[in-house]
Amino acid sequence: MATISLRAVEKFYGKTQVTHGVSLEIPSGEFVVILGPSGCGKSTLLRMIAGLESISKGEIAIAGKVVNDLEPRARGCAMVFQNYALYPHMTVAENIGYALKVAGISKAERATRIAKVAETIGLADYLNRKPAQLSGGQRQRVAMGRAMIREPEVFLFDEPLSNLDAKLRVQMRIEIRKLHNRLGATSVFVTHDQIEAMTLADRLVVMNAGRAEQVGSPAEIYRKPSSLFVAGFIGSPPMNLIPCEAKGSDTVTIEGHDIITGPHHQGQGTKLVLGIRPEDVTIGTGDFTLSVEFCEELGAARLYHGKLAQETFILQVAGAQGPVPEHIAFSLPQAAIHLFDARSGLRLGD
Amino acid sequence: MIEKTPLLNALTHAILLCGLAVAFVPMWLVFVAATLTLTEINTPPISIIPGSHLWENLAEAWHRADLGAKLINSLIMSVAVAGGKIILSSVTAFGIVFFRFPGRMLAFWLIFITLMLPLEVRIVPTYAVAANALSPYQAILDTIGFTTLWASLTGATIALDWNLLNSYTGLVLPLVATATGTFLYRQFFLTIPDELFEASRMDGAGPVRFFREILIPLSNTNMIALFTIMFLYAWNQYLWPLLITTDRVHFGTAVTALRALIPAMGDSTGGDVPNWNVAMAGCLIVITPPLIVVAALQRFFIRGLIATDK
Ligand SMILES: Nc1ncnc2c1ncn2[C@@H]1O[C@H](COP(=O)(O)OP(=O)(O)O)[C@@H](O)[C@H]1O
Ligand SMILES: [Mg+2]
């Protein structure tokens, strides 16, 4: 298996820079998910690792060897594409075995290995079908099988589940994770779906506009988002983010109410942003009142939407029943508060 | 059809029947004429009922125009033109679509411009080149003064000469070197998703392998469509074969041979009455091979021209 090192990797298309000095060490066998909104440069980064895109600046090393100038085939990576990219004129077996054919492996050995892979991905009965005769989920499996057969050191996934329906996506997500646990290859998985990212990742890289904004375990990133962007991007429903002003070194004010936040060491009147997750708000008592504008019923919980300091504010209440109240009193418990500098967007305190 | 009503159906069928008549009536007249005797055919009005002399007329035409040898010549030429075209255009389109190199768009436009220069327009220069295919290079050497230099140094004159008159090469090459096929292939290659090329790169296949094992199989129906079009185009050539083959006995094509069946009015041979019955029988023979090609390939042909999925 192989480690992957990105060292200040940059990518320019002409004059436009789409990757800004990304550095990352991926230990052997780890499952890393790159998460970010569409257009932030995730695919570009992945394709630079694969060798499909040239590296404008910086270095990428796989298993300790710098691969900047190596062809994709020499890097030992296999890739699963968003639209599967199966060869339409080849059968499932030929699709899966094509890499072996190119590598000049004998027909007999190919057949054995194809059979084994087909068994793993549950397509043993479909080997003679063409891709057009398969369902979306089956095509997805073929794409996985095609990547697996070479027993690569590195697996690269570019939003492989985004074309599946919701149920199948959950199922394939679990299968991908199981497969990873079994094969133990280093995996880099790109997605814009945060739930997919949180459930799959050993380690999560949140990308924004070509930068790796935060790197850490899913739980770490959820509990301690390092910037406003990450705070707003991770979590569903998203974290409430309310503008406020510093007052003293451990207090802020929102609409005239003082809230103790713990030490933040910002000068009086500094513009800050207070963040709190909808499920962390204490309801029933407190200084604030939410006028409920509408209510989302999730079954296990309800989301009450309203406003605080002109910003959307959501309360998540587990097990709520009965008629929707017009007003809800709530307070912001100190332990659950995240503080960010309004200008730089960086996290303050801890 | 967006709507289906009896009236609209009847109307569309009427239009189709008109089209059929326009296409079919002349064919029928050719067939009828080929079955009559010389006297019958020269007696007005034009008969529309077949006579009983088809086989005699066919045999006469076959014999008089030496169609056996000429059909083989035509077949060689048409297959070579269609085949050469497919090879040339698939490779050039591959280069233009899948590679980034300086002057790529220039190359594309230069090829594209030849669409506006059919053989008939450039027939004189093409003939000049065919008479000596190396003459452009000779001209270049002459212009830069290399020939004079070489002559003064070695005493030998350089006279490059490669005559294509009266050869299959001469018949075929000028018809191969046009842009239609390149354009067709280019349009098809542009519909191939980039991911497919990238997947093959990840699988370790180089460009040649990708071309041979993925692009070519995928463009099968395209290839058949192009083959059909080019076969017909080459088969129906008249002016070029007439010009480049002076040795009609060995290199004449079937279409040009038809001329032998119609003595021109006021010909030196005297005021022969044209044997239209034999001429039409010759026509029947000559249009048969392309008809067979179209009938055999039309299934794929139509798929090739409308193919989007796959
Ligand atoms: N070949 C290209 N030429 C120019 N710009 C490109 C090219 N490919 C991608 N980009 C730009 O790079 C940015 C990142 O693209 P991409 O990595 O595909 O984003 P993501 O996968 O995160 O959605 C986008 O703004 C996109 O427009
Ligand atoms: Mg992408």
Q: For the segment B77-131, what is each residue's pLDDT rounded down to a tens digit?
A: 999 999 999 999 999 999 999 988 898 889 888 888 888 888 888 888 888 888 8
The string of pLDDT tens digits covering residues B195-206 is: 999 999 999 999
Rounded to two decimals, the pTM is 0.81
What gap in Å lies between CA B59 and CA B32, rounded to an integer? Answer: 16
Point out the ligand 1 atom lying closest to the alpha carbon of residue A53: 1
Percentage of chain A surpassing pLDDT 90?
69
Is the pLDDT at B28 greater than 60? The verdict is: yes
Pocket test for ligand 1, best of A12, A16, A17, A18 (most atoms within 8 A of CB): A18
Q: What is the mean pLDDT of residues B146-153?
A: 80
Q: Is the dihedral of CA B138, B242, B72, B294 positive or negative?
A: positive
Confidence of residue B3 (pLDDT cuts 50, 70, 90): low
pLDDT band at A282 (very low <50, low <70, confident <90, very high): very high
Q: What is the longest distance spanned by two Cα atoms in chain B?
A: 87
Q: Which residue has its alpha carbon closest to ligand 1 atom 16?
A: A41
Distance CA A322, CA A177 (A): 40
The correct answer on CATH 1.10.3720.10 for the domain covering B68-254 is yes
Which residue's CA is the nearest one to ligand 1's atom 25?
A: A39
- pLDDT per residue over B168-223, tens digit each? 888 888 888 878 888 889 989 999 998 999 999 999 999 999 999 999 999 888 88
Determine the average pLDDT of the residues in A283-301: 90
Q: What is the model's pLDDT at position B304?
A: 57
Q: What are the distances in angstroms from CA A89 to CA A92, A94, A198, B68, B298?
A: 10, 9, 37, 41, 21
* Per-position b or e across A45-56, b if 16+ CB within 10 A of its CB: bbbbbbbbbebe
The nearest alpha carbon in chain A to B204 belongs to A73
Average pLDDT value for residue range A175-189? 91
pLDDT band for position B265 (50/70/90)? very low
Pairwise CA distance, residues B177 & B171, whole Å:
12
% pLDDT > 70, chain A: 100
Q: Where do we find the tokens 């959950």?
A: A170
Q: How far apart (Å, rounded) are the C-alpha atoms in residues B171 and B163?
A: 12
Phi, psi (degrees; rounded to nearest 5) at B237 = -60, 135
Range in A168-172, A266-270, B49-53, B288-292 the model is least confident about = B49-53
Closest-CA distance, A165 to chain B, in angstroms, reads: 22
**pLDDT > 80? residue B310:** no
Nearest CB neighbour to B196, from listed A77, A85, A103: A85
pLDDT at A233: 93
pLDDT of amino acid B272: 63
Distance set, CA B93 to CA A8, B7, B161, B188, B216 (Å)? 38, 47, 31, 9, 12
Tell me the CATH number for domain A237-341: 2.40.50.140
**Could you give the C-alpha distances from A167 to A173, A317, B304, in angstroms and in order?**
10, 26, 38
More confident residue, B267 or A220: A220
Summarised one tens digit per residue, pLDDT across range A156-174 is 999 999 888 888 889 889 9
Judged against a pLDDT cut of 60, whether residue B33 lies above it is answered with yes
d(CA A104, CA A319): 61
Picking from A254, A258, A262, the residue whose alpha carbon sits closest to that of residue A307 is A254
Mutate to test the interface with A, among B192, B198, B202 (most CBs of A within 10 A): B202
CB contact under 8 A, A103 and B198: no
pLDDT at B2: 62
ipTM field: 0.84
Mean pLDDT is lowest, of A17-31, A197-211, B287-301, for B287-301
Residue B67 has pLDDT above 60, yes or no: yes
pLDDT band for A102, please (50, 70, 90 cuts).
very high
For CATH 3.40.50.300, list the domain ranges present in chain A. Answer: 4-229
Alpha carbons within 13 angstroms on the beta-carbon side of residue B73 total 26
Distance from CA of A88 to the nearest CA of B (A): 6
CA A199, A200, A204: angle at the middle one, nearest 5? 95
pLDDT at A293 over 60: yes
The DSSP secondary-structure symbol of B213 reads: I
pLDDT score of B266: 45
A12 CB near ligand 1 (under 6 Å): no
CB nearest to A89's CB, from B202, B203, B218: B218
Beta-strand ranges (E) seen in B149-206 are none
Atom 1 in ligand 1: which residue has the minimum CA distance? A13
Q: Which regions of chain A carry the CATH code 2.40.50.140?
A: 237-341
- In the predicted model, is pLDDT for residue B148 greater than 70? yes
Are A36 and A228 in contact by the 8 Å Cβ rule? The answer is no
CB atoms within 10 A of CB A38: 8
The DSSP symbol for B271 reads S
Cβ A114 vs Cβ A76: under 8 Å: no
Cβ–Cβ gap B218/A88 under 8 Å: yes
Q: Starting from the CA of residue A47, give the closest ligand.
A: 1
Examine the pLDDT at A94 and tell me if it is beyond 90. Answer: yes
Q: What is the CA radius of gyration of chain A?
A: 24
* pLDDT for the residue numbered A201: 94
At B143, which amino acid appears? T
| pLDDT exceeds 90 at position B264 | no
* Best residue of A54, A71, A79 to probe chain B, by most B CBs closer than 10 Å: A79
Q: Do A338 and A344 meet the contact criterion of CB atoms below 8 Å apart? A: no
d(CA B297, CA B195): 31
Inter-chain touch A83–B218, beta carbons under 8 Å = no
- Interchain contact, A73 vs B199, CB within 8 Å: no
A42 CA distance to ligand 2 middle (Å): 6
pLDDT of B56 above 70: yes
Query: C-alpha dihedral over A106, A109, A113, A119, to 10 degrees?
Result: 120
| A88, A102, A132: residue with CB nearest B203 | A102
Question: CA A36: distance to chain centroid?
Answer: 6
Compute the C-alpha angle B26/B27/B33, nearest 5°: 85
A contacts of B193 (beta carbons < 8 Å) = 83, 85
Nearest residue CA, atom 4 of ligand 1? A13
Average confidence (pLDDT) over A321-326: 88
Cα A85 to Cα B195: distance, rounded to the nearest angstrom: 6
The tokens describing B147, both together, are 């020939």
Residue B263 has pLDDT above 60, yes or no: yes
User: What average pLDDT does range A236-252 have in this prediction?
Assistant: 90
Of A339-348, B76-85, B219-228, the least confident: B219-228
A314: helix, coil or strand?
strand
Distance, in Å, from the CA atom of A144 to the CA atom of A173, rounded to the nearest integer, reads 12
For the cut 70, the answer to whether the pLDDT of residue B225 exceeds it is: yes
The pLDDT-based confidence of A192 (bands split at 50, 70, 90) is very high
Asked if B89 and B181 count as a contact pair (C-beta separation under 8 A), the reply is yes
A69 close contact with B: CB closer than 8 A: no
The mean pLDDT of A268-280, rounded to a whole number, is 92
Tokens 């066919």 belong to B58
Q: Tokens representing A64?
A: 């300790």
Bridge partners (DSSP) of residue A60 are A6
| Cβ(A317)–Cβ(A301) below 8 Å | yes
A103 Cβ under 8 Å from any chain B Cβ: yes
Cβ-contact A142, A122 below 8 angstroms: no
CB-nearest partner of B214 from A72, A83, A87: A87
Q: How many CB pairs under 8 A join A and B?
A: 55
For domain A4-229, the CATH class is alpha beta
Which residues of chain B are within 8 Å of residue A103 when distances are taken between CB atoms? 204
Residues B125-146: what's their mean pLDDT? Answer: 82
User: Strand A77-80 relative to strand A154-158: parallel, antiparallel, unpaired?
Assistant: parallel
Judge if the beta carbon of residue A139 lies within 6 A of ligand 1.
no
* Under 8 Å between Cβ of B274 and B262: yes
Q: Is A43 in the pocket of ligand 1 (CB under 6 A)?
A: yes
Q: Residue A16: what pLDDT?
A: 93
Listed by start position, the domains of chain B span 68-254
**B66/A341 Cα distance (integer angstroms):** 95
> Residue B205 and residue A88: Cβ atoms within 8 Å?
no
Lowest mean pLDDT among A70-74, A100-104, B2-6, B117-121: B2-6
Which of A81, A87, A103 is the closest to B204 by Cβ?
A103
Task: Give dist(CA A220, CA A138) in Å, integer.
Answer: 35
pLDDT at position B306 over 80: no
pLDDT higher than 80, residue A264:
yes
Q: What is the mean pLDDT of chain A?
A: 91
Stretch A178-184: mean pLDDT, rounded?
A: 89
Residues 6+ apart with CB under 8 A from A219: none
